[in-house]
Amino acid sequence: MIHMPGKLYLIPKTIGNTATNKVLPHYNHEIINALNEFIVEDARTARRFLKASGYEGSLDNLMLHVLNKHTLQEEIPGFLENCLAGKDIGLMSEAGLPCIADPGNVVVSLAHQKGIQVIPLVGPSSILLALMASGFNGQQFAFHGYLPIPLKDKEKKIREMERSIYRLDQTQIFMEAPYRNNKLLDNLLNTCQPDTVLCIAASLTTEEEYIKTLPIKNWAKKKPDLHKKPALFLLYK
């Protein structure tokens, strides 16, 4: 008997400690409650999110496939075996949208190759929320993800992005591991031109949300403490 493949749902999560009903539509909860198999970055935080979402099934009987930097490539095809047999499954990121600054894209690519329907659900994107609130060019922009860690390489990348602002009229968007945010801010203030404009968008959608846009030369006396806070950095002119 030939089975039609199931569907792969891309399930957004909250960015911070926001109540799920504030940022996720009710339809998402309906889809989540119909599933008991998920591909996740961390099993513990996935269960916590499902519980906060009002998941009606048994959290103990979930089938969770862990996809992170430690996952072996040869393990990944097995994540979709039940989906190929006709079962719907979900893919969720650690926060925000799956596959955006997230390893889930390898599963989605494989799903397309195997004829599995991929269905993205609506949810919060810190990248787009930050761009919306920055006042910068929302028609031409580039997201760079994490910058290089070595200082010399990081400064080179910052200068390259700054040139793209003026050469391409393009907003530059990037991020850092939360515990290195304050150091990156210092790097930006020491590397960028004084009139280049920086927007910092931190803790988006939470009660601690912080969004401010200022020229580089004006940030020195207004530096926020971004230590261990999820943040996006945007540069423009």
Number of domains in the chain: 2
| pTM recorded for the entire structure | 0.91
Give the domain CATH number at 156. 3.30.950.10
Alpha-carbon gap, residue 46 to 169, rounded angstroms: 39
Domain termination site, one of 82, 103, 120: 120
203 and 211 Cβ atoms separated by less than 8 Å: no
| Residue 224, pLDDT score | 96
Say how far apart CA 234 and CA 151 lie, in whole Å. 19
Alpha-carbon distance values, 13 to 47, 129, 210 (Å):
12, 15, 20
Domain stop point among 91, 120, 149: 120
130 and 110 in a single domain? The answer is no
Q: Strand 141-146 to strand 171-175: parallel, antiparallel, or no bridges (unpaired)? A: parallel
One domain, residues 147 and 95: no
Mark whether 75 and 137 lie in a shared domain.
Answer: no
**The pLDDT value given to residue 129:** 97
**CB pairs under 8 A, 24+ apart, for 215-222?**
216/188, 216/189, 216/192, 219/185, 219/189, 220/189
CB of 113 closer than 8 Å to CB of 105: no
pLDDT of residue 1: 56
Domain range for residue 87? 7-120
Q: Looking at the structure, tell me whether residues 189 and 105 fall in a common domain.
A: no
Pick from 86, 101, 120: which residue ends a domain? 120
CA separation, residue 97 to residues 104, 123, 153 (Å): 10, 7, 28
List of the chain residues with pLDDT < 50: none
Alpha carbon dihedral 165, 167, 170, 173, in 10-degree steps, equals: -40
| pLDDT at position 198 | 98
pLDDT at 199: 98
pLDDT (0 to 100) of residue 101 = 87
Q: What is the pLDDT of residue 46?
A: 95
Whether residues 12 and 115 share a domain: the answer is: yes
Are 115 and 12 in the same domain?
A: yes
What does the pLDDT read at residue 175?
97
